[in-house]
Amino acid sequence: MNDAEIRYDWTLSEIESIYTLPLPELVFRAQGVHRRFHRPDEVQACALLSIKTGGCPEDCAYCPQSAHYRTGVVRTDLLSVEEVVAAAQAARERGATRFCMGAAWREVPSGLPFERVLEMVRRVRALGLQVCCTLGMLTEEQAQALAAAGLTAYNHNLDTSPEYYGRIITTRTYQDRLTTLERVRRAGIRVCCGGIIGMGESRRDRYRLLEQLATQRPHPESVPINLLVRVAGTPLADAPSVDVFELVRMIATARILMPASVVRLSAGRLSLSDEAQALCLLAGANSIFIGERLLTTPNPLPDRDRALLERLGMRFQEQGGDGAS
């Protein structure tokens, strides 16, 4: 690894000048970085499972699982360990090397539900998969218990800039998010942290999000870039659609700023053409979520993803391959 090339002191004006490069120049630079740190023909397949759905007390304006909005999402209790293991096994058979469990919690409850999550982590890890969880805010003890159970990474997104954040979420602060991320890092768990584009934010908000991510030390190991999935009933249901080239710029800039991180083309792929998705991969994204559902919203069918990679002469990373340990 060319660790010497990794910088943590990116400034807002540098980020702006990268993001606004002529697209051919931006993609060329992103590709140069990408192939020094990753195999350009490989994509990591991750699978998502909602282990506890809906009824969340937070008011995230994009989220179908918030109890503040009527979105038609059916609430469920925490799944059983066996249900989760079966889903992880199925995901592994479809080629996923990472399994991410999401819960619509503001923070992780203590006691039996948390014990059950720890058992899920141990059992999924035992299948040879990377395991990621996204469960809301964590205490230091919970972070350490998750680390001891073998958790590979914890997903906790900053979502947008510190300035725009209050327009999207009022029930917790940016600082709350940063504190949880710090606890995760201190427990020795890798950080998965990214954001969403298409929530009405300005370009400057995107630069500020990227600045927040790229000045963390170490960088988040994994950076999910989500394109807003507009869900009826949420305050962002009618948000204007964002130019797809903004997504490409966001991905390419993330790739240049955080060369060793896995940049994930996450939610929103159903609203992208095959060509747009290909451009995102050319710009440095090297992971997608596979399976017909994200947490609660639809995702491209597995056959379409497989066919797309085949047409591009690319492939899913194998178990135990680069970064899949």
Closer CB to ligand SF4, 10 or 69, in the complex: 69
- State the binding partner of 156 from ligand SAM, ligand DTB, ligand SF4, none, CB within 5 to 8 A by kind: ligand SAM
**Minimum distance from residue 228 beta carbon to ligand SAM (Å):** 5
Is 193 known to be catalytic? Answer: no
User: How many chain residues touch ligand SAM (CB under 6 A)?
Assistant: 18
- Does position 295 interact with ligand SAM (CB under 6 A)? The reply is yes
Is 100 known to be catalytic? Answer: yes
Is 56 known to be catalytic? Answer: yes
Q: Which stretch binds ligand SF4 (CB under 6 A): 55-63, 210-218, 220-228, 234-242?
A: 55-63
> Counting runs of H as helices and runs of E as strands, what totals does the chain give?
11, 10
Q: Are 19 and 202 in contact (CB under 8 A)?
A: no
Alpha-carbon distances, residue 91 vs 123, 261, 290 (angstroms): 14, 23, 8
Virtual CA dihedral for 57, 63, 69, 74, nearest 10 degrees? Answer: -80
CA 229 to CA 116: how far, in whole Å?
30
**Residue of 133, 172, 185, 192 marked active site:** 192
Alpha-carbon distances, residue 275 vs 12, 19, 241, 271 (angstroms): 30, 21, 17, 12
Residue burial 91-107, b: 16+ Cβ < 10 Å; e: rest: bbeebbbbbbbbbbbeb
- Does position 56 interact with ligand SF4 (CB under 6 A)? The reply is yes
Q: Are 100 and 155 in contact (CB under 8 A)?
A: yes
CA 299 to CA 239: how far, in whole Å?
20
Is 63 known to be catalytic? Answer: yes
Is 264 known to be catalytic? Answer: yes
Closer CB to ligand SF4, 30 or 192, in the complex: 192
- Interface contacts to ligand DTB, rule CB under 6 A: 48, 64, 100, 102, 134, 155, 157, 194, 224, 226, 229, 266-267, 294-297
- State the binding partner of 153 from ligand DTB, ligand SF4, ligand SAM, none, CB within 5 to 8 A by kind: none
Q: Are 156 and 191 in contact (CB under 8 A)?
A: yes
**Minimum distance from residue 117 beta carbon to ligand SAM (Å):** 12
Nearest to 269 by CA among 249, 296, 297: 297
CA 260 to CA 181: how far, in whole Å?
19
Closer CB to ligand DTB, 29 or 300, in the complex: 300
- Does position 220 interact with ligand SAM (CB under 6 A)? The reply is no
Amino acid at site 11:
T
**Minimum distance from residue 172 beta carbon to ligand SF4 (Å):** 8
* Greatest Cα-to-Cα distance within the chain, rounded to the nearest angstrom: 53
Is 269 known to be catalytic? Answer: no
Binders in 38-77 for ligand SAM, by CB under 6 A? 62-63, 65
Closer CB to ligand SAM, 102 or 323, in the complex: 102
- Does position 206 interact with ligand SAM (CB under 6 A)? The reply is no
229, 256, 258, 279: which one contacts ligand SAM (CB under 6 A)? 229
Is 46 known to be catalytic? Answer: no
Q: Which two tokens stand for residue 228?
A: 């807003």
Q: Where on the chain is the footprint of ligand SF4 (CB under 6 A)?
A: 56, 58, 60, 63, 65-66, 104, 106, 136
Query: Active-site positions?
Result: 56, 60, 63, 100, 132, 192, 264
